[in-house]
């Protein structure tokens, strides 16, 4: 599991920034399945996606990632929450091959739910401390 927060000096709308940031995932995962999801933030210039990957590059694991971007016109703020899962044949469908992979898949699924909630509950706060 990893959580990354980055501030990038950029003047792109959040949607354009997030789609550009997701491009490396498409290159590393042939069957990337990306779906937008709604957060609890009321900030206008934001976007969030869930990205499922059956096998990341040539590794022995798949991933579920939650990516959220906010833009305030001066910078983009990017939050990534990612969980490794056992590799599978199709993104979003896990078929554990043994007890160890089954336990990994169960733990990963629990962590993925927590990470999605984390991204959903993140709010953008401006310089005055006003959070939306």
Which residues form the domain of 59?
A: 2-120
Q: Does residue 126 form part of some domain?
A: no
Q: Which residues of 15-54 are buried (b: 16+ CB within 10 A; e: fewer)?
A: eebbbebbeebeeebeebebeeeebebebebbbbbbbbbb
Domain assignment present for 127:
no
- Does residue 125 belong to any structural domain of this protein? no
Which residues lie below 8 Å from residue 87, measured CB to CB, with a gap of 6+?
A: 54, 55, 59, 60, 61, 62
Tell me the CATH number at 55.
3.40.1000
Would residue 23 count as lying in a domain?
yes
Tens of each residue's pLDDT in the chain, 132 residues: 899 999 888 778 899 998 888 888 888 998 999 999 999 988 888 999 999 999 988 888 999 999 999 988 888 899 999 999 999 989 988 888 999 999 999 999 999 999 999 999 998 887 788 888
Examine residue 132 and state whether it is found in any structural domain, yes or no: no
Residue 22 lies in a domain: yes
What's the predicted TM-score (pTM) here?
Answer: 0.89
Number of folded domains in the chain?
1
Does residue 48 sit within a domain? Answer: yes
Residue 98 maps to a domain: yes
């Amino acid at each position: 599991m990893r959580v990354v927060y980055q501030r990038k000096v950029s003047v792109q709308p959040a949607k354009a920034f997030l789609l550009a940031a997701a491009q490396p995932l498409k290159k590393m995962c042939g069957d990337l399945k990306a779906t937008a999801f709604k957060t609890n933030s009321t900030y206008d210039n934001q976007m969030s996606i869930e990205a499922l990957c059956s096998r990341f590059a040539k590794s022995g694991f798949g991933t579920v990632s939650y990516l959220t971007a906010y833009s305030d016109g001066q910078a983009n703020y990017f939050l990534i929450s990612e969980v490794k899962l056992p590799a599978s044949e199709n993104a979003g469908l896990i078929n554990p091959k043994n007890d160890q992979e089954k336990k990994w898949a169960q733990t990963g699924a629990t962590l993925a739910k927590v990470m999605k909630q984390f991204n959903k509950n993140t709010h953008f706060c401006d310089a005055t401390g006003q959070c939306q």
